[in-house]
Amino acid sequence: MATLGAIADDLTGATDVAIALTSAGYRTTVVLGADAPHDGDAVDGADAVVVALKSRTMPVDEAVTASLRALERLRGAGCERFYVKYCSTFDSTPAGNIGPVSEAVLEALGESVTVIAPAFPANGRTVYRGHLFVGDDPLDESPMRHHPLTPMTDSNLLRLLAPQVSGGEADVALVPWPTVARGAEAVRDAIGRAGDAGARFVVVDALTDADLATLARATEGLRLLTGGSALAQGLTGPRTSGRTPLTLPEGPRVVLSGSASRATQGQVRHALAVGGGRQLRPAELREDFEATVSGAVALALDSGDGTPFVVYATASPEDVVDTADAPLIEEALAEVAERLVAAGTRSLLVAGGETSGAVVQRLGVASLALGPEIDPGVAWMLGQRDGRDIHLMLKSGNFGREDLFVRAWEGSR
């Protein structure tokens, strides 16, 4: 029976935390949506269950409702400890949803304090003095400043979080790195003191995986943790490995990219130089959705020469994108996925969290088991569709090396 339950605000984030939990020794199942049909075997055999929501950019009340339903589901599966997983770049708006969801889950559990830990050092996300860095840059000087849905215009996590929680500034505190360097006991004491002073959300600095391991030990007594995925690596699961071995099927190597992130832009460019592709332009989709989608599907099915074929909306850095086009693009990529799978494609790489959510929802895959990790936070996963295996790699926008779309299939079949 599962003991640890995670609620992830998007699907790639769910994959990411599932990878971390798997390496921490939890056999982990990702369940798609709070209301997905109960996949008895997959959930019953798991040590940890991750519910993948698509709540990052929902209206606040809907995100809270979905997260509380997920919590109920996890409690029903036997979970006793919980993890709210959000993006390592703290993707949110002044209204939420990181603050409201964390607060609602904390209150539903009747707990008084939790930690805020987005750091993911292996992917360059570190927190120092409460400021989130992406590589060398503060968050607000990174490409996240221009994200179409959640532009991040501050790097100070305390300032970002305070307007999102009901107690405002008084609800938020910091455990700075010098305390973290003194070890788990010092961090535990500092969190306790912050809680006694009235804060419920304690941002904890972390520069390395070792800092996050310290934090994981310091928070053993907390029933709720919140963060990116890397904090989960420091937890201690019941086994040494929970991975499912996978063999990728033959067939076209299709990448569906709706991610607007800088890393994805580089991966799309790299894959186009090696293989083929078809760009989905919003104007074309508005003019003739059917012809645009069926044209892309036909080209993708015709590829299949051992190189990737990328169907992408991902703009070049110099292009101006209109956020209002996002739903149309998600719909188009989901439709392309549906038709490819109906035509027999059994492996798909999808880039972007929102995009992955739209695609997997359309495919109707209920749960995913973890396969091999290809880059930090990026893995193949195995699901079922119409009683047959389907292999999915759901890539967070900013994750993966430049050649990921080419390398993902290599050495795996």
Ligand X SMILES: O=C(O)[C@@H](O)C(=O)COP(=O)(O)O
Ligand Y SMILES: Nc1ncnc2c1ncn2[C@@H]1O[C@H](COP(=O)(O)OP(=O)(O)O)[C@@H](O)[C@H]1O
Binding residues vs ligand Y (CB under 6 A):
148-149, 258-261, 264, 282, 313-315, 321-322, 325-326, 329-330, 352-355, 397
Q: How far is CA 320 from the centre of its chain?
A: 25
Neighbour-count burial for 362-399, b at 16+ CB within 10 Å, e otherwise: bbebbbbbbbbbbbbbbbbbbbbbeeeebbbbbbbbbb
Pick between residue 64 and residue 87 the one whose CB is nearest to ligand X: 87
Q: Give the list of residues 6+ apart from residue 197 with CB closer than 8 angstroms, or none.
A: 173
The type of residue at 275 is G
- Residue at token pair 């003095």: 129
Q: C-beta of 19: minimal distance to ligand Y in Å? A: 17
Please identify which residue in 16, 47, 103, 330 interacts with ligand X, judged by CB under 6 A: 16
SS3 151: coil
Pick between residue 143 and residue 195 the one whose CB is nearest to ligand X: 143
Q: What is the Cα–Cα distance from 226 to 82, expressed in whole angstroms?
A: 8
- Which helix (H) or strand (E) is 102 found in, with range? helix 98-109
Is residue 352 part of the contact set for ligand X (CB under 6 A)? yes
Token duo for residue 102? 């964390």
Pick between residue 252 and residue 399 the one whose CB is nearest to ligand X: 399
**Site map 303..322 versus ligand X, x via CB under 6 A:** --------------------
Pick between residue 282 and residue 383 the one whose CB is nearest to ligand Y: 282
User: Whats the size of the chain, residue-wise?
Assistant: 413
Q: What is the Cα–Cα distance from 41 to 24, expressed in whole angstroms?
A: 21
Please identify which residue in 253, 393, 396, 404 interacts with ligand X, judged by CB under 6 A: 396
Residue 312 touches which of ligand X, ligand Y, none (Cβ within 5-8 Å per kind): none
Number of residues in contact with ligand X under rule CB under 6 A: 17
Q: C-beta of 294: minimal distance to ligand X in Å? A: 27
Please identify which residue in 6, 74, 87, 104 interacts with ligand X, judged by CB under 6 A: 87
Pick between residue 70 and residue 297 the one whose CB is nearest to ligand X: 70
Q: C-beta of 239: minimal distance to ligand X in Å? A: 23
Q: C-beta of 99: minimal distance to ligand X in Å? A: 16
Q: Which of residues 177-236 bind ligand X (CB under 6 A)?
A: 228-229
Q: Which of residues 138-157 bind ligand X (CB under 6 A)?
A: none
Strand partners, 255: 310, 349
Give the CB-nearest residue to ligand X.
353
Residue 13 touches which of ligand Y, ligand X, none (Cβ within 5-8 Å per kind): ligand X
Q: C-beta of 52: minimal distance to ligand Y in Å? A: 13
Neighbour-count burial for 82-99, b at 16+ CB within 10 Å, e otherwise: bbbbbbbbbbbbeebbbb
Strand partners, 84: 7, 226
Give the CB-nearest residue to ligand Y.
397
User: Of 409, 195, 397, whose CA–CA distance to 313 is shortest?
Assistant: 397
Residue 229 touches which of ligand Y, ligand X, none (Cβ within 5-8 Å per kind): ligand X
Residue 88 touches which of ligand Y, ligand X, none (Cβ within 5-8 Å per kind): ligand X
User: Of 368, 109, 122, whose CA–CA distance to 226 is shortest?
Assistant: 109
Does residue 391 contact residue 380 with C-beta atoms inside 8 Å? Answer: yes
Is residue 267 part of the contact set for ligand X (CB under 6 A)? no
Strand partners, 134: 125, 137
Is residue 398 part of the contact set for ligand X (CB under 6 A)? yes
Pick between residue 91 and residue 211 the one whose CB is nearest to ligand Y: 91
Q: Give the list of residues 6+ apart from residue 189 with CB closer than 8 angstroms, or none.
A: none
Q: What is the Cα–Cα distance from 125 to 34, expressed in whole angstroms?
A: 28
Is residue 12 part of the contact set for ligand X (CB under 6 A)? yes
Is residue 347 part of the contact set for ligand X (CB under 6 A)? no
Q: C-beta of 21: minimal distance to ligand Y in Å? A: 21
Token duo for residue 351? 């880039």
Please identify which residue in 28, 214, 261, 314 interacts with ligand X, judged by CB under 6 A: 261
The footprint of ligand X (CB under 6 A) covers 10, 12-13, 16, 87-89, 120, 228-229, 261, 352-353, 377, 396-398
